Amino acid sequence: MKMIEAIIKPFKLDSVREALTTIGINGLTVSDVRGYGRQKGHTELYRGAEYVLSFIPKIKVELAVKDEEVEKCIETIKKSAFTGKIGDGKIFVHTLDKVVRIRTGDENEEAL
């Protein structure tokens, strides 16, 4: 089992969610996050004053999947989050040692 974390642009969330749903992924967690990479922030104008936003608003999408679903999920996220511009995001994959569904006590793949 793997945990996939994708950091994407906020306006791409709906297309990523819809694309994941079409391949059979029914559960995910979404968080509002801020950060920067190569973008290094950007300049904003507020009431005539210019200031630098060091941390760019992003969305973190997290989903736990079976090992055989990982590559399909990565490709789906890559295609649906792509704009071709800097700041499209990143995808991280972590190994899950154990998953437990609280309501039923199901464990591991049965809990997904």
Residue-wise pLDDT for 32-63, tens only, equals 999 877 766 666 667 777 767 778 889 999 99
Yes or no: say if 18 and 80 are a contact pair by the CB < 8 Å rule.
yes
pLDDT computed for residue 86 by the predictor: 85
Range of the domain at 61: 2-111
Residue 43 belongs to a domain with what CATH number? 3.30.70.120
Structure-model confidence comparison of residues 100 and 38, the more confident one: 100
Which pTM value belongs to this model?
0.85
Counting the structural domains of the chain, the total is: 1
DSSP 27-39: --EEEEEEE-STT
